[in-house]
Every structure is written in structure tokens, then in C-alpha cells.
Amino acid sequence: MSMEINNFRNILLSSNPDLSKFKPLDFILFYDDFDKGLNGWTEIIGNYPSERLGDLDALPSDFSDMRPPMLSNVVMFDIGTHGSLNGLYCLKLATRPIKGHIALAGKRCTWPFKGKIKIETYLAFKPEGPEGKINDVRAFRIGMDIQDDTKRSWPSIRYLVSEEGKLYQKWQYFKEGRPDAWKPGQSFQTVTWNDVENGEQELCYNETPTKINWHYVSYTFDLSSWEYKELICNDRRYDLSGIKPKTVETYPLLRGLMNIGLLIQTDSNRRAFLFVDSILVSLGE
Amino acid sequence: MPAQTFTAVLERNRIFTQDFETEPYEVGWATEAIFFIKILEVKGNCPKLEVKVQLSPEGLTWVDDDSDPLVISADGLYFIKVREFGNWLRLKCKIEGESPLFKLMIYLVLKG
């Protein structure tokens, strides 16, 4: 992109109230403002065995109850409608009120070319109800599920709020294993999460249980070098260059896979909510 | 612009033997809602599943709406149409009978 075109593009982006709060790479794959609907975000379920396609009894139980996403105007018991950052509605993920339960929604794409993938979003999290506390929430996650000609990975970052009630408030990245899962009656973690260097960050949770505050989060992964690049949350930038997620062998019929996932996990027998005002995914060199 | 529609699967292939409620679901953007209850399997002596729509102002406290309950005792596909529901919907499901068992799907189809 020439300097003139790039400057013109930056002027257009910065003068657009919807887009000026993002810093997208050259190619915007999608921009979802949830005032315009659910935009293709859907509940994630596991795979049927090849010999039992469509047989619900054959779905892996740990990936069979990730809950349907919903459009929320964020109603609180004391003030009524809270609304989103821009407009009224946001995407909401809600766990069941079972300790360890996970709500996971995804958008299924393919990568149009190999370059950097940048996910930018404005989000907030909260447990349910007037008695909810910050350590009722275990973590929220922004993830990818990608495959090329030779490998597949689930590069993801998460903000660990608390575990077993202990507050952590730090960023982590996925190193190896499979995505976190949940089975009726138990939660388990199959992912090895590594701490982002100096990744402790206190987000604005707001001690009042019915107030949420929106945060900017940006996460970039490089498909060309198959490594993490950076994580940004508001004024903090974390350099993830050179960190590579573990790869596994390719799955059949998945070349070009690029699923974007959003997840919330509860750390108590109280529902945990992830609210997403908007999300923009872009690619570039 | 075509109308917004969304189908949420509130329960998927689950077995119930006791009373339950579906998870709260926000529907403020929609003007029409239909719950589909697909009964996949029924067991027990005189099993009965009574399904009632519930409303809520904030997703925490719930009250029955003023429609008649749907009563189910055999497999098949059933529905409940709902209008004027505010921002939240869920189903309250009461199970009766001797050793009753219902295996079911519950869909919520929204349009607005």
C-alpha cells in the first residue's frame, strides 16, 4: 500500500466513529457491531465420530454444552438497562451456574492469505447477580483455531481472573494441549497456560456488581511464522514475538481453517458473563 | 433489510427426570418467540412434562406468564408461541409420573 493511500485510509478510519477506536491491519475480514445482530457468532460443539455423523448421543460430552450466545442490552436489577459501548446491544456469553463451566462462541472463517491476524475487541466481564464478586469469574479467552497445509494449532490468550477463589488478574497464552473443556459434573483444563511476561494487569472490574466497564483488547498472531506477535489491553502492550504454540497434525478437510473464538469460564456456582460490544478482525503483512 | 432471526438451542439431547428450568435467555430485540420442544424419548409410568413460560424483569426473579401450560406425555415435536415478553424468557418444566424420564431438545426461535 503506497504512503498516499495509507494516509488516506488512516484519515477515513480515524474519521469513522465506529472504526476509529480500532487499529486494523490492511485487510478487514469482518467488523461486528452487535447492534446489527449476532453476525455469525454461534455456539461451538465438538465433532461427531465419522461413523455416527449427526448422532447427538455421539457428541463428546465435554464439547456438547457451550451455551448459545445471545444479544444483550445488559440489564441490571437496580438500574435496568446498562447498554453497550456504542449503542444498545452486545454479544453475551453466559455459563451455567456450575463451577468450572465454560461458554464458548465462535465465528468460522478461513484465512484469505498468510499474514498477521489481528483481533480487536471491546469487552467486559461480570458474574451474575447482586452478590457476584470478581473471583466468581475464572477467565475469559480470545482464541483462534487455525490450520494450514502441514499443521493445526489453537493459539489463544486469556485473562485469568481467579482460580479456586484466588485472584490472579494476569494475561496468559496457550502453549500446548487442547482447548479447555468441561464435562457435566467436572471441569478440567487440558491446556498448558503460560504467563505473559509481566502480564499482571488490573482491569477495571468495578466493585459494584451492576456496573461494567469496557476494555480494549487486541491480540495478533502471525500465520506466516506461526508465532504470537503481541497483546494489547488499553495502555499496556505485551510483546509475544517468537512464542510458538504447539502444533498437531492436520485434520482432514480443514485447510485454511481460521475460527475465532470467545470464551468465559466461571470459578464458582454462579453464572459468569462475557459482554462484547464489537469485534474487528483484520489481516496484513 | 431482512428481519433479524436467531435460533438458540437451550437444551441439547439432555435427559431429565426431575423438575428444571432452562437457562435465562435475553430476547429484548425480538418481537416474536417460539419455543420448540422436541421430545426424543420418554420412559416411566404415566410420565408427564408440564412446560410453562416464565418472564423476568432482570433475569434473576421469575414469574409465570398468563398462558396455559403445555402438557407432554409422548415423544414428538411441540411448540409454544410467545408475545409481549420483555427482555427475558425461560421455561419452567415440571416432571411427574412414576420413574419418569424425558430426553429432549429445546430450541428458542426469535424474530424481530
pLDDT in tens, A176-220: 776 666 655 555 566 789 999 999 999 999 888 899 999 999 999
Q: A79 and chain B: CB distance < 8 Å anywhere?
A: no
Among B14, B20, B23, B108, the strongest candidate for a mutation testing the A interface, having the largest count of A CBs within 10 A, is B23
Across A154-171, average pLDDT: 95
- Grid coordinates representing A105 are 462462541
Burial of A178 (0-12, 13-18, 19+ CB in 10 A): middle
Tell me if A158 sits within 8 A of A193, measured CB to CB: yes
Q: How far apart are CA A204 and CA A212, in angstroms?
A: 8
What residues does each domain of chain B span? 5-111
Interface residues on B facing A, Cβ-Cβ cutoff 8 A? 4, 6, 8-10, 12-13, 23-26, 28-29, 57-60, 87-88, 105
Per-residue pLDDT at A1 exceeds 80: no
CATH number of B5-111: 2.60.120.660
pLDDT of residue A120: 98
Contacts of A128 in chain B (CB under 8 A): 59-60
Across A100-110, average pLDDT: 95
Question: What is the pTM (predicted TM-score) of this model?
Answer: 0.96
Q: Do A128 and B60 touch (CB under 8 A)?
A: yes
Say how many CA atoms lie within 13 Å of A59 toward its Cβ: 17
Task: Using alpha carbons, list the distances in angstroms from residue A132 to A276, B6, B35.
Answer: 19, 29, 30
What residues does each domain of chain A span? 25-284
One DSSP character per residue, A92-145 reads: EEE--SSTT-EEEEEEEEE-SSSSEEEEEEEEEEEESSTT--GGGEEEEEEEEE
Q: A56 and chain B: CB distance < 8 Å anywhere?
A: yes
Closest CA to B93 of B82, B80, B83, B84: B80
pLDDT of residue A184: 55
Task: Using alpha carbons, list the distances in angstroms from residue A20 to A9, A16, A17, A72, B79.
Answer: 11, 6, 5, 24, 45
Across A52-75, average pLDDT: 91
Q: What is the CATH class of A25-284?
A: mainly beta
Closest CA to B87 of B28, B16, B30: B28
Residue A53 C-alpha, separation from nearest chain B C-alpha, in angstroms:
15
